[in-house]
Structure 1
Amino acid sequence: MLFSCSLYANIDYPIAPEKIAKDTWVLWGANEIFSAKNGGHIANIGVIITAEASLVFDSGPSKGFADALNAWIKTQGGGPVRYVLNSHAHPDHFLGNQVFQKSALMAAAPTRDAIAEEGSDLAENLYRMVGAKMQGTQSVTPEKIATNQRFNLGEHQLEIKILNGHTNADLVLFDHSTGVLFTGDLVFYQRALTTPHAVLKDWLTSLDQLDQLPYKTLIAGHGPIDQTRSATAQTRQYLLWLDKVMQQGAEQGLSMAEMLSQWRKNPLREIALSEYEFVRSLAHWYPAYEVAALK
């Protein structure tokens, strides 16, 4: 689906990339829900620019955002964007795809299939929440299937790993040269995590695998930079708390309405969007806990 609104055709999409390592930048997403103000840019977007070629880790929420990103990349004097990695099939991570060469677009097979099947509906839904900054945005499915693989980009020795848990395919990128790890939404830091397609056991296993990597700097899908190896622990703590509070509530026979106040017991309740995301996770997960408690 293609969205157009000539009244807002000249809307500016300001971006502010921050250099975090050699050749490596992050465009920090707002720790907020989708809104017209943030234009849907709530996820962290990574960029590696070398003289040979450039790489984008997640293309962002809209054509306007990706246009601004692509224009900025060209000002840096690096090579063309040869790789655009989609970490997973949530709209804040892939709806900028159309700005880049289709041959550059890469995603795990389940992510590619989900974008092909649901991308237009996700774009339409995001347009309802964000509005005019979605002008001209359409979903584009990646051509290339990403697998567990290593490749070089200039002096950077990069490794793609396909994990799961947040969704059924979560792509992460580790730069062995700089120690930077882009995790997509397998890690949330100082921001409550989202669970619409999550599987608890798989997510915890993937966090264990991330902890085995010798990274120095972790860029979560949402939240600030982590250079103390704290972010995976926080995500794990939050997941285990969700599991515990929902299991206990179901065993006590609490209704979903009665569960709403339980977010106050969360030791991480002060992080961004803790109440909002707890309510959403109740809707996603609690019915299964109720069924299990009745067996």
Structure 2
Amino acid sequence: MMNYSNKIELLSTLLPSIQRIKGSIIVIKYGGAAMIHDYLTDAVVQDITLLCSLGAKVILVHGGGPEINKWLAKFSIEPKFNNGIRITDPQTMEIVEMVLSGKVNKELVSLINKNNGSAIGLSGKDGNFIIAEPLEPNSNSLVGCVKSIDINLISLLSYHNYIPIISPIASDCLGQSYNINADTVAGEIAGALQASRFVLLTNTPGILTDIKDPATLLSSITVDKISHLVSNGTIFGGMLPKINCCIDALRKGVNSTHIIDGRIPHCLLLDILTSQSVGTTITL
């Protein structure tokens, strides 16, 4: 007779997590290395559709930095960044919107729908559910920030079991398009929805006290301790907007925030359904 004890033990371990996520709102920001490799993209899509089949309400906000850089190169435009934020002039803005809303977004929608999900692609322009404003007023930069969010559209879609797939492009009140950091958009949406969980997929193990040593990964950290790591330069560059949007989301009522390693296949399931550490959990 076959020994089913290991399988029963596994199911018993997973059951509390499955019960906990039923009906919960999970906002995921998808980007980094997880977008470069097809096998990682497939794993993310499979994880999302499985979470939805278990009753979770998933909202996916995506970036597309590598794809944007590839298209900028075709137009001989050098990508430039400031503290992890892409510098966006009018010419760059056209390419960013084309790639994010026209290409990456629709490819993700198709992948999820092919995997028995029900995805709908949006940008902040749809229904004006995100209103943008310039990050630096009185400049020519088209880098934006979120002025306001109307959650009615994405709440309606989630209620009817659709998966909103959102590109971080939005317009101001005059119709000017802005490129908003995807981490920021995801954090603002999580906060507006008061999500149960906000997860950022990155191309790093999480928060490291020594960026060259994966063994220094912090599996959990509080907001107070983060301030010290920022001030002494341990946290810098592209990690800063991720940290800031996690802190902002927590202060707006999100239960937990997680910066996880998107290079690990099925990292979402590992983070959400098991006790396996695949990144850093940030709490108040």
TM over 0.5: no
Q: TM-score under structure 1 normalisation?
A: 0.31
The structure that is helix-richer by fraction is: 2
